[in-house]
Amino acid sequence: MQKQQLLTKNQQIIFDLIDKSTEPMKAYAILFNVQKKGIKAPLQVYRALDKLVEIGKIHKIESRNAFIACQNSSCQVSKATAFSICEICEKVTEISSASLSKYLTNFKDKDGMKYSKYNLEFFGLCKKCR
């Protein structure tokens, strides 16, 4: 059992905001929302985001420059992530498929190289948007 990571004040404020959000949040939208709580500068946001990503509490959606809370209780470290992204409404869902993660974690390239980390983003239309 891994020791539960305690969040600092800024990290907690920012995590709570992202966690409550129903959609991925961008850094400056986060900044705008936490200014009333005393977080005034971009760096304060980015530092908290970096840490939260590092410990796996949130993930960055690279194609959108946005951040989402981990929806997968087992993601204690951010090293194997997969998302589905709707190209119309921009809804993002973290995919948790044992077979997918097994396949990718064990994937070896032509040279037999195995990787320590991956990020996969699927694009399509969600149920509502079809």
Partner DNA sequence: TACATAGTGTTATATTATAACAATTTACTA
Partner DNA sequence: TAGTAAATTGTTATAATATAACACTATGTA
Which two structure tokens, joined as six digits, stand for 58? 């949130």
Find the binder of DNA among 17, 18, 23, 28 (CB under 7 A). 28
Residue with token string 């040279």: 111
37 binds DNA (CB under 7 A): no
Residues 52-111 that bind DNA (CB under 7 A): 65
Measured CA distances, 20 to 13, 14, 15, 120 (Å): 11, 10, 8, 24
The identity of residue 17, as a single letter, is: L
Rounded least distance, CB 7 to Zn ion, Å: 16
Residues 17-76 that bind Zn ion (CB under 5 A): 70, 72, 75
Binding site for a copy of itself (CB under 8 A): 62-63, 84, 93, 95, 97, 100, 103-104, 107, 109-111, 113-127
How many chain residues are in contact with DNA, going by CB under 7 A? 22
As a whole number of angstroms, the distance between CA 19 and CA 52 comes to 11
Query: Phi and psi of 80, rounded to 5°?
Result: -150, 90
Contact residues toward DNA (CB under 7 A) are: 6, 8-11, 26-29, 38-44, 46-48, 50-51, 65
